[in-house]
Amino acid sequence: MYKYDQYDQAMVDARVEEFRDQARRRLEGKLTEDQFKPLRLMNGLYLQLHAYMLRVAIPYGTLNSRQMEALADIAEKYDRGYGHFTTRQNIQYNWIKLEDAADILADLATVEMHAIQTSGNCIRNISADHFAGAAADEIIDPRPYAELMRQWSSFHPEFTYLPRKFKIAVIGSETDRAAMRLHDIGIRIVRRASDSGAEVGAQFFAGGGMGRTPMIAPLIRDFVPLDQLITYAEACLRVYNRYGRRDNKYKARIKILVHELGAAEYTRQVEEEFAHMLSVGVEPPHEELARIAEYFAPPAFVDGPKTLDRSDPDFALWVDRNTHRHKHDAYVSAVISLKPAGGIPGDATADQMRLMARLAKQYSFDELRVMHTQNVLLPHVRIADLHAVWTALEEAGLGSPNMDTIEDIIACPGLDYCSLANARSIPLAQRISERFAQSGRTEIVGELKLKISGCINACGHHHAGHIGILGVDKKGTENYQLSLGGSEAEDVSLAKITGPGFDEDGVIAAVEKVTDVYLAARADGERFLDTYRRIGMEPFKEALYGA
Amino acid sequence: MAHNLGTSPDEVQFRFRDDEPVDHGTVTVDSALEQTNANAVRIEPGDDARLLLPFLDRLALVEVNFPSFGDGRGYSAARILREAGYAGELRAVGQVLIDQLSHMRRCGFDSFAPDKRLDEEDALRAFATWENVYQRAADRRATIADKRHEA
């Protein structure tokens, strides 16, 4: 994985000092809270309901054991002994004191980590396919491109006061495991035939997003040559910075600009700016990409057994559910579920983080990934080592065999933490996963992605859930709208609302009813989403609301 | 010429140029397009800086107004002018704060007239925040990537 050189380290160190100085000026009254707010946000510091929250960047979700251990130390030293992994492959600490923030950033800097641009109206932490460099179906490892963009987007002088936040995801497979088209810019690294054999480039999608106006990003360019990647991104951002709406924060995301202009007109403006930018020369030297790519060379895989002893049914179930096919046939990627039935999705204790770090060091070339599904991944595990890994995970309460099942719920922090929320998300996730785990239904239902947001900002990705739940405030009480048919994957679609909302008990019953309809109607091999797409909304509505 | 708009040289707190500052006010972009003798213009956030490109030779001062520090359109305006070869004074005015100075400088601003005077020491520290930079920008500084691959 990528390692800082003296320049990267100096940039992060300079940022810590800058923030320390900003905090000092705030305390001395030289900065008003209004002036300080965007500065602390750009260092990941939010004011929530009960305390400050610090969001630490994990660029494209990749970290090593030393970094994971540092995250555990921070959880113990400055928080309440745990952290929360997020849908953008970051980690959040929910109980932070403002006066500790600069020290935490300094601690992070010692392990090549930071909280830069994890909030604010700037280019956020770049996310990527969590199986990058490991998945059997990968065409090109997206991480070098994500790292190139991390450097380009860090402290960008022109794009630090954008109309609104800006999220970029990069993938390198046909399969989309990063919700790429639900990002402000989604990039797919592709290979195409050329005179010299094959040429690598980037497909650009722009104007996707969730929030109150969900949109799927249209393709704006089929192929950007690699030595123009940054230039093209810069052109996309400049058009947005100049013309994105600033009169209404709810209409300020790039998706609204692309929608209002139309994809063709936005593209035309970008192309014009791009042509200009090419003449200015903003692209980093092409050797830089090669330098970065060296850090992502495949580790030294060794041959080994390709089959395993499945005599323990619990182990076999976990293998079937939680492992993913690897490029090398003696390896798999193993998903560490942070979704124990009845637990808080994405939470991990300091001890659990340390265990994950140890397993990474021992069994996965010292590498971990944070998944956008709020789980953690050991990307390269020998099949021969799987039983040992599973045994250790089981002992630590991290062995739930539920990847991509209804227990693998994405949920935002909701009203338990967040000052924007209208309703609680976490207790709902806990009750649903517990209910399905206890009844044994999880396994019967199979793949079903349930996503819960506690408000219309959609941090819990409810628009992209096979089943989505949105918490709203209805005359002072929490109410939950149910929606069906969303997907964040390559078959991307936006979920549709079933009808009137439910109270907490009601929405749990509704989720069960919806799975009843699916189980009664499903054809061979159909996932919930496939059945929904085949039979449509009506049968579900009928079951939920009757005649 | 009437001092109808904009900042006077007295209001400029930091200036990174040796030439004499323009001693009169600025006109709006619309006026500048009509008045063939205007040499000082003020750009508001909604203005298209590219409208000025045909007249850059005759301009000695462009003020870019930041009515609110959170509105970042002025950064693009500045870079666009510099990319087109504008060599006159580029002055950031309005809500110009300590923590925007280094980015503004990188986008090509070479004078600063904040509506509230800034603490000198804090400002000088802010200008010097970044010993190195990741992006190519209007200041033409060699980037980190450039340095990594110097022959």
The residue written with tokens 């939920």 in the block is A544
Q: Which residues contact A293 (CB under 8 A, 6 or more apart)?
A: A144
Nearest in space to B123 (alpha carbons), one of B14, B50, B29, B17: B14
The pLDDT assigned to B1 comes to 40
- Give me the residues of chain A with pLDDT under 70, please: 547
What is the tally of structural domains in chain B?
1
CATH topology of domain A142-293: Sulfite Reductase Hemoprotein; domain 1 (3.30.413)
Q: How many CB atoms lie within 10 A of CB B52?
A: 22
Answer whether residue B9 is part of any domain: no
Spell out the alpha helix ranges (H) of A225-349: 229-243, 254-261, 263-280, 287-295, 313-322
Q: Which residues contact A272 (CB under 8 A, 6 or more apart)?
A: none
Distance from the B8 Cα atom to the nearest Cα atom in chain A, whole angstroms: 25
Chain A positions in Cβ-Cβ contact with residue B137 (cut-off 8 Å): 157-158, 282
Q: Which residues of B touch A (CB under 8 A)?
A: 45, 48, 69-73, 75-76, 79, 83, 97-100, 102-104, 106-107, 119, 122, 125, 129-137, 143-149
Is 70 exceeded by the pLDDT of residue B2? no
Q: Is residue A396 within 8 Å of A350, Cβ to Cβ?
A: no
Answer whether residue B53 is part of any domain: yes
Facing residue for B136 by CB, picked from A31, A154, A281: A281
> Within an 8 Å CB–CB cutoff, is residue A219 touching chain B?
no
Residue A433 has, within 13 A of its CA and on its CB side, a CA count of 30
Nearest in space to B83 (alpha carbons), one of A279, A337, A303, A310: A279
Confidence at B4, pLDDT banded by 50, 70, 90: low
**CATH number (domain holding residue B99):** 3.40.50
Could you tell me the residue range of the domain that residue B145 belongs to?
14-150
Nearest in space to A534 (alpha carbons), one of A524, A542, A543, A547: A524
Helix or strand or coil: residue B114?
strand
Q: Is residue A114 within 8 Å of A104, Cβ to Cβ?
A: no
Q: Which helix (H) or strand (E) holds A91?
A: strand A91-96
One-letter amino acid identity for A304? G
Q: For A410-545, give the CATH class.
A: alpha beta
Q: Is residue A428 within 8 Å of A508, Cβ to Cβ?
A: yes
Which one is the CATH code of A6-109: 3.90.480.20, 3.40.50.150, 3.30.70.250, 3.30.465.10?
Answer: 3.90.480.20
**What would the DSSP string read from start to end of A293-317?**
HHHTPPP------S-----SHHHHH
The pLDDT assigned to A99 comes to 87
Give ipTM to 2 decimals: 0.96
Most B CBs within 10 Å: which of A126, A242, A279, A282, as the mutation test of the B interface? A242
The pLDDT assigned to A417 comes to 86
Q: Is residue A452 within 8 Å of A458, Cβ to Cβ?
A: no
Q: Cα–Cα distance between A438 and A407 in angstroms, integer?
A: 11
Measured CA angle at A90 (ends A85, A91), to 5 deg: 50
A452 bridge partner residues = A411, A469
The pLDDT assigned to B113 comes to 97
Residue intervals in chain A for CATH 3.30.413.10: 142-293, 410-545
Tokens describing residue B30? 């619309």
Confidence at B3, pLDDT banded by 50, 70, 90: very low
Helix or strand or coil: residue A321?
helix
